[in-house]
Amino acid sequence: MARIGLGGPVGFSFATIGFSSAVFVARVWEFFSQKSHLKCGLSCSARSSSLFQLHHFDYGLALTLVSMGVLAFTRRQRVRWDAALIFGIGIGLFTDEAGMLLAKIPYDSSLSILVLASVGVALLVGTMNAVIRDGTHEFNVLDRTDILTEMSILLAMAGFLYLDRPLIPFVEVAGAASWACALVLVSVFGRKHFRRTWTRLG
């Protein structure tokens, strides 16, 4: 069994990118969600009435646990890279609302932002430490297929903006475009990436 860890500099950098992207998407989603509900007032349905309106804290916790399970049981390099990206996304979504839900801290308070910044800095320091420890040769293994497949995962996450109700036209277009781009990228590049991921080490 492999030890739980993000591994080399690529894993840490993917986790950092996943974290940053998830926090950005979550904050944008919350901003537009509040704006749209203020505009429609009492005519809006309750924000908790849909499955997709669960707190992103819950989704983040699920993604974090799943990715940790994968990291614990595989040594395959590309699998660990994918899991590291998912781990970063999960941690970002989880941490974004952790203060509000667990410590009852206002979502937009300075303390909530400080918690996010602390986790982000920790991941960034981990990335820098991995680069200093292992060098940058691992990045040479990455190719266009790997990078664009990881980008498709980030775009798929951003596409969940589309699920907020009521929709703001800009958010609707941005979410749909993200999903469309993700589908194109995973269709063109994902098959090769996942075939290599699951059929060989390294």
Lowest mean pLDDT among 46-55, 80-89, 123-132, 176-185: 46-55
The Cα 15–Cα 82 span in angstroms is 9
One-letter amino acid for residue 131 of the chain: V
Mean of pLDDT over the chain: 82
- Token readout for 70 is 């994968």
In percent, the amount of the chain with pLDDT more than 90 equals 35
Tell me which of 147 and 34 has the higher pLDDT: 147
Look at the chain and count its residues.
202
The Cα 156–Cα 112 span in angstroms is 26
Q: What is the pLDDT of residues 87-120, one digit of tens each?
A: 999 999 999 888 888 888 888 888 889 989 999 9
The Cα 65–Cα 70 span in angstroms is 9
Residue 148's contacts (CB-CB under 8 Å, 6 or more residues apart) are 185, 188, 189
Q: What is the pLDDT of residues 47-67, one digit of tens each?
A: 443 434 457 888 889 999 999
At 3, phi and psi to the nearest 5?
-75, 150
- Token readout for 127 is 């990335």
- pLDDT surpassing 60 at residue 175: yes
Q: Region 138-156: what's the mean pLDDT? A: 90
Q: Region 143-166: what's the mean pLDDT? A: 82
Distance of CA 178 to the CA centre of its chain: 14
Which among 175, 182, 194 has a CA at the least distance from the CA of 151? 182
pLDDT computed for residue 57 by the predictor: 83
Where do the domains of the chain lie? 9-40+50-199
Lowest mean pLDDT among 33-47, 57-71, 94-108, 160-174: 33-47
Give the predicted TM-score (pTM) of the model.
0.84
Which among 152, 140, 138 has a CA at the least distance from the CA of 189? 152
The Cα 200–Cα 78 span in angstroms is 9
- Token readout for 58 is 């819950």
Helices (H), 41-107: 56-73, 77-102
Tell me which of 21 and 159 has the higher pLDDT: 21
Q: What is the pLDDT of residues 11-22, one digit of tens each?
A: 999 999 999 999
Q: Which residues of 55-82 are buried (b: 16+ CB within 10 A; e: fewer)?
A: bbbebbbebbeebbebbeebebbbbbbb
DSSP category for residue 5: S
pLDDT computed for residue 141 by the predictor: 87
